[in-house]
């Protein structure tokens, strides 16, 4: 299989990937008293209150498909080999304004084309699972009711 | 004219007096720099202004020719203002805003804005995996959301789901642009009519977007010349005034991957529009013709909503009944736009706005007096209202 891109991790995002490697889906949240705003993508300070204090709050890993696309070539070779794969945008049940891009798969380790595009539906409930992508553990998504 | 607090008004204080361009083609033999020089010299000749009088330049990112190279090649004088606006296609109209501000506040007298691009024969930016924007590189591209078309398709599917917009609405956009290109001998698609059957059976690029929902890939360059309103009255052509100008970067906006806020479908157009109309003497209902950035067809219904031509969710339905065609409610992209004339990061929309208000478009709206020109929706953007 040709290579897929791996996340280009920055200082702000590093904890997300460290938690993912442990099988946890965590989101950055403000640690200031009385604030607690969850934010994504991660950033140095809280856009609501300006605090630089942050925690990584564990989520249930539950969400719903907010939208999805089915890309067709021309694509980078690793992805062209997986057509018809289908990036999904998952709205987190714990923080609806946070929508993670990911891939819907039949089970944790299954390839990106393991679910037929016809199975996708906006609003479908999904659950986060974790899989290795080029040496980095990334979240993937499975249907709650396959 | 000046408000009592001493600040300067931009309203009608400057005018576009010259426009120029190279031919458009999938492949042009000359370099981007040579094309830029040709477009700038053509615009100055159109204005009847000597290159040595140019003292201001404005461009926007993904422009490979810088001010130093351009100024010395075309023979500009001493330059006292130069500006480069970010976000690629979102910056086209901001070049006019920056030049208008510089001229109105006395920092310069003759401004040139330009765009030169070899996107037809050059590489597709998304194929470069080493020079990625940080947010997509970490959070979206690894999952196969690789190209601008994929990023916009994600919003487009949600838009269609939420508001009942259809592929026929997107076709209406593609068709209006193509019909105008069929009247414009300079357009890449001049001799290539589009039918609904061609649209509905074309190959997918990123479902729900097909080939004809995507802009062209073009080599070409354009430029325009801006001076004060007082000087404009002595120039060769009827002045086209910059009536209002605005940039827009909304709170909690994330660029083309605008997925992490309460309302991803209300983008930069809304922010730019509020400022644009606040400064203007007229409103959306008074716009005679619009040149709206069309890298992808869904940007048109979104922009129609953002700039106030219809309500939220009504952008698809707005396109029905020939509304975007000549004689419709809002004639759109009358030279063919990025979808069918040329994709030069939206600068051809500016020059076509000028032609409409000079009365020299190949798809002239009779008696057009006002024109909205916008830059890319979905990225930090900009827009201008032009009037004659
Ligand atoms: Zn906070």
Shortest Cα distance, chain A CAs vs residue B109, angstroms: 40
Distance from CA of A33 to the nearest CA of B (A): 22
Is the model's pLDDT at A91 over the cut of 80? yes
Nearest-Cα residue of chain A relative to residue B156: A67
- Residues measured by CB to lie within 5 Å of ligand 1, the ion: A 30, 32, 35, 37, 46, 48-49, 51
B132, A99: Cβ pair inside 8 Å? Answer: no
| Percent of chain B's residues with pLDDT above 70 | 98
pLDDT of residue A146: 79
CB contact under 8 A, B134 and A7: no
B249 near A CB under 8 A: no
Structure confidence at residue A2 (pLDDT)? 63
Q: How far apart are CA B106 and CA B189, in angstroms?
A: 42
Contact (CB<8Å) A41/B139: yes
Distance from CA of A133 to the nearest CA of B (A): 9
Mean pLDDT value of segment A7-21? 97
B87 is catalytic: no
How large a percentage of chain B has pLDDT more than 90? Answer: 94
Please give the mean pLDDT across all residues of chain A: 96
Kindly determine whether residue B150 and residue A69, on different chains, have CB atoms separated by under 8 Å.
Answer: yes
> Looking at the whole model, is its pTM more than 0.90?
yes
Question: In angstroms, what CA-CA distances link A101 with A33, A88, B215, B250, B355?
Answer: 30, 6, 25, 21, 43
Nearest CA in chain A to B205: A72
Asked if A7 lies within 8 A of B146 by C-beta distance, the reply is no
Task: Collect all residues of chain A within an 8 Å Cβ-Cβ radius of residue B259.
Answer: 66, 89, 99, 101
Residue B82 has pLDDT above 70, yes or no: yes
* Residue in A69, A74, A99 nearest the CB of B207: A69
Q: How far is the C-alpha of B70 from the C-alpha of B52, rounded, in Å?
A: 12
Residue B9 has pLDDT above 70, yes or no: yes
Q: Which of A32, A33, A34 is nearest to A54 (CA)?
A: A32
Each residue's pLDDT tens digit, B165-205: 999 999 999 999 999 999 999 999 999 999 999 999 999 99
Range B275-296 average pLDDT: 97
pLDDT of residue B5: 66
Domains of chain B, each with CATH number or no CATH = 14-121+220-227 (3.40.47.10)
Residue B161 touches chain A, beta carbons under 8 Å: yes
- Predicted local distance difference test score (pLDDT) of residue A80: 96
Q: What is the pLDDT of residue B3?
A: 58
The answer to whether the CB atoms of B257 and A101 lie below 8 A apart is yes
Q: Contact A8/B203, CB-based, under 8 Å? A: no
Rounded to whole angstroms, the Cα distance separating B150 from B205 reads 8
Q: Taking residues B346-369, what's their average pLDDT?
A: 98
Condensed to tens digits (0 to 9), the pLDDT of residues B109-145 reads: 999 999 999 999 998 999 988 888 889 999 999 999 9
Please give the share of chain A, as a percent, with pLDDT higher than 70: 99
Question: Quick check: is B343 catalytic?
Answer: yes
| A118 min Cα distance to partner chain B (Å) | 12
pLDDT band at residue B153 using 50, 70 and 90 as cut-offs: very high
Mean pLDDT of chain B: 96
| Confidence grade of residue B2 (pLDDT, cut at 50, 70, 90) | low
Q: For residue A63, how far is its CA from the centre of ligand 1 (angstroms)?
A: 24
Q: What is the per-residue pLDDT across A23-54, written as a single tens digit (0 to 9) for each?
A: 999 999 999 999 999 999 999 999 999 999 99
Instruction: Report d(CA B154, CA B137) in Å as an integer.
Output: 17
Nearest to B184 by CA among B339, B327, B384: B339
pLDDT given for residue B4 in this prediction: 60
Q: Which of A6, A8, A75 sits opposite B146 (nearest CB)?
A: A75
């Amino acid at each position: 299989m040709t290579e897929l891109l791996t996340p280009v991790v920055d200082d702000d995002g590093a904890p997300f990937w460290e938690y993912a490697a442990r099988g946890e889906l965590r989101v950055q949240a403000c640690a200031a008293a009385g604030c607690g705003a969850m934010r994504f993508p991660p950033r140095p300070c809280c856009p609501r209150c300006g605090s630089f204090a942050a925690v990584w709050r564990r989520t249930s890993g539950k969400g719903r498909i907010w939208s999805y696309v089915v890309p067709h070539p021309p694509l980078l070779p690793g992805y062209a080999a997986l057509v018809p794969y289908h990036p999904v945008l998952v709205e987190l049940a714990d923080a609806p304004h946070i929508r993670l891009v990911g891939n819907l798969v039949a089970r944790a380790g299954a390839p990106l084309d393991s679910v037929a595009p016809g199975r996708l539906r906006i609003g479908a409930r999904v659950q986060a699972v974790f899989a290795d992508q080029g040496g980095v553990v990334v979240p993937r998504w499975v249907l709650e009711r396959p | 004219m000046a408000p009592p607090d001493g600040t300067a008004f931009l309203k009608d204080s400057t005018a576009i007096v010259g426009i120029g361009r190279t031919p458009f083609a999938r492949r042009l033999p000359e370099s981007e720099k040579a094309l830029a020089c040709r477009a700038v010299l053509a615009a100055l000749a159109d204005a009847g202004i000597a290159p040595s009088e140019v003292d201001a330049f404005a461009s926007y990112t993904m422009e490979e020719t810088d001010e130093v190279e351009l100024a010395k090649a075309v023979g500009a004088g001493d330059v006292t203002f130069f500006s480069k606006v970010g976000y690629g296609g979102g910056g086209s109209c901001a070049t006019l805003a920056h030049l208008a501000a510089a001229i109105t506040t006395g920092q310069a007298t003759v401004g040139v804005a330009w765009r030169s691009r070899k996107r037809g024969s050059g590489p597709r930016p998304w194929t470069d995996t080493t020079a990625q924007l940080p947010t997509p590189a970490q959070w979206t591209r690894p999952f196969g959301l690789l190209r601008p078309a994929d990023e916009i398709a994600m919003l487009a599917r949600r838009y269609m789901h939420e508001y009942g917009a259809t592929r026929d609405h997107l076709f209406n956009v593609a068709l209006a642009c193509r019909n105008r290109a069929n009247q414009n001998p300079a357009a890449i698609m001049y001799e290539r009519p589009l039918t609904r059957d061609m649209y509905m059976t074309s190959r997918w690029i990123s479902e729900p977007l097909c080939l004809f929902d995507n802009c062209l890939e073009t080599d070409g360059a354009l430029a325009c010349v801006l001076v004060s309103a007082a000087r404009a009255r002595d120039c060769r052509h009827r002045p086209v005034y910059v009536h209002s100008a605005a940039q827009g970067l909304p709170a909690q906006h994330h660029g083309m991957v605008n997925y992490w806020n309460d309302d991803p479908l209300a983008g930069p157009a809304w922010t730019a529009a509020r400022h644009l109309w606040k400064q203007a003497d007229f409103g959306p209902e008074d716009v005679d013709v619009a040149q709206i950035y069309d890298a992808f067809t869904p940007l048109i219904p979104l922009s129609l909503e953002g700039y106030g031509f219809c309500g939220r969710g009504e952008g698809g339905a707005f396109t029905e009944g020939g509304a975007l065609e000549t004689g419709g409610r809002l004639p759109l992209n009358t030279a063919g736009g990025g979808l069918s004339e040329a994709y030069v990061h939206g600068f051809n929309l500016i020059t076509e706005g000028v032609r409409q208000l000079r009365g020299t478009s190949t798809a002239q709206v009779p008696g057009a007096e006002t024109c909205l020109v916008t830059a890319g929706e979905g990225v930090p953007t900009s827009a201008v209202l032009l009037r004659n």
